[in-house]
Every structure is written in C-alpha cells, then in structure tokens.
A and B are shown apart, each in its own frame.
Chain A
C-alpha cells in the first residue's frame, strides 16, 4: 500500500527555481492528475517523484519511507514516457521483460508475467515484433506493459497520450481508466489537456509557475476554482472574467457593477471588501442565457453553430469580448445586439489579489 506525501518540495536549476515548495498528499489507489500550462513544472515534479531529478529541498515520502536518496528502481514506481522510450533493438517481449531480467527474476516467472501483461493489454500477438514495426497506439501499449509488469505501487505517466491522434487518444484514455480500476495502484498522470484531467482524475492538482494553485476533485475545480488562474484554466470555453467595482457589501452578498454590467448581487464572502474595491466577476459561457432582463448587453461578433449548441462571441461596450454557449441552434446575426443574463448563484467573485470569495 503506497500513498505519497510531498513536503515542501523544491527544485532549482542553478539560480532558476522551477518547483517552489509543493505540499501534496496522495492516497493509495488514487488517480491524481497534474495539470497546468506548458513549462509550469509538471514534468519536473513527476520526475522528482520518479527519482530522475534530484530534490533540491523538502521531503518525498512513498509508502512509509522517505525516498529522497533512494534509487528510482527501489522506489516502487514505474513510468510511462511521452516518447514511449521503447528500446529499439529489443523485441516487445524483451522490452516488457527488461526490468524483470535486471531484477534477476527466474525465466519462467518472467515469462509468465510478460504474457500476463500482454494479455491485460491485448497485445499477445505483438510480442515478437520490434518497436519499429508497431503503430503509435501499439507502442503506447508496450510502454504501459513495461510499467505494469513491474507491479509498481505507483504509476507515473508523463503526457502519455499526446503523441496519439485524437480518436486513439479517447480509446487509450478509457483503457487507462479501466487499468486503474483493475490494478488498484496509485497513478500520477501529467497532462496539459484539461479534458484528460477532468475525465481521468480522482484528484486534480493545478500547477502554475512551480506552485500548486489548487487541489481538488474535477467538479470542485470546475465549480469552485480557488483563484483566477484555475478559473481561467479549467473549463472550455474559458470562463468569462469581467473587471467590476464593489458597490456595497451586505454580509454574504456583494453588489458589483461595471461599465459592461448592470448592478448584480453575488453571494460571496464580503469580508475585507469595501465599496469601490476592484474585483473580477467570473461567469462560465454555459451559464449564460438570452433574456430580455439580462445584465449583460453587447454586440454579436462571431457565431459558431454546432447544431446542438451555439457559441457566441460578444463585444461588450468597453470593448471586452465575452463568450456565451447557448443551447440549441440559434441563427444570430453578427453585429446584431444581444442581451444575456445569468443566475447570480452561477457567478464567481474574485478579489483584487485574484482569490475566490
């Protein structure tokens, strides 16, 4: 049984600090996804867990051991690389069995395990091929097979699907979810694709600039983003963010307005806010509906008709653009005027520091 504990982990390359103190608790058997924009330090953090990067400061616990100084092979982990990193001169059979061979596992045991892994991944017919004779999806399977044959406590994945085409990506995503259910091992998965994050994760860790922005279940992150970064990062199309001014604070209700927005009362903590403060109002495109009495008035800039829904890009009086996703097909005319409303309960309020209220 192996959960993980990351305690104030830091990583610097010379003077450049790329992981700036990460605290994280991961339960055994959890599927955790690290998500964030490119260059935010996801891979670095994963590689620190794997033991491929030195830990500059802090403590890493896997199971019940501090593993900062433990060799990767002794950490009870396995890793699947974005490039698959299959050994080109070995057959699939030898690729999968390489770790077992190094561990001096007896031949018969090794053979049994390799075949078992191949069966789970439905690639028994590929065992005698070389990696160069495999398609992208098949290589991906071999890479996963190489990981599961070692029966790690923790699986590490670094963007494993990003080299696959879109259709295959969806298949492999489901396969990974199934594998997680079957094996019951802890999995840590790095991606910059929020759809993968939302669909696979028990727990999402949003990273930006080497700092954890928020940890939570996919729905928590969607509904209650902790700050502007998470709000903007999770959800597609992106959440609309409107600068506004506090008009009044009445306990749990904050009244805001702006040039683009009629006065609106939002249910949010008013603590420390006072009239005249600058805040940001967040409204998801899906929360908007056309209504005569709405608080957002603008001009239609662009219409994308997808059949089941319609994406409308609107230009507000201040010139800000605003996105709405409306149900059903709507034949809106560009440059026509439009009035949209939303339920204040669906709106989020962020203070001057960008934190959710």
Chain B
C-alpha cells in the first residue's frame, strides 16, 4: 500500500516528457500484450505484474540473452537502459 503511494507520487513527480516516453514505447508492447497489458493467447500479462526493478531486470535479461524468448530478445535488444526504465515506470506504476 505504502509502496503504491510512493510509486504514484513518483509518477506525478516524473517529468511529462519521461511519462510520454514510457507511453510511446509501450505502444510496441500493446501490439501483442494487449491495450492495457493484460496479455492473451499465451502472451503474458505485463501490467502491474512486477515491481519496477524486477520489470527492468526481466527486460535486461531478454536483451542480454539470459532469458529464453521467442520474440522478446529481438525486441529488447532495441532498448537502451533509459527505454527500459521508462517502460518499467509505465507498467509497474499501474499497480
């Protein structure tokens, strides 16, 4: 509960540009994971499923080839550390 409040507050404090970056990058996730990140057809849910640090670590693992993937490795290799942080803020902030 307290964590969620802190997260929400950091979201508010986040500059609008960083928030928009997360939203625009999330456009790619939505293509398969669903508009609100709920997943379907064996595609996992990504919205509000992990804390920010965990979410970022998973994406980095995909990028670094440490996690088995069909398409996610190929996608994550297109992300910078900042992109991963923005996505983590976008999705993890929803819980």
**Do these two chains interact?**
no
What is A's interface to B at a CB cutoff of 8 Å? none
What is B's interface to A at a CB cutoff of 8 Å? none
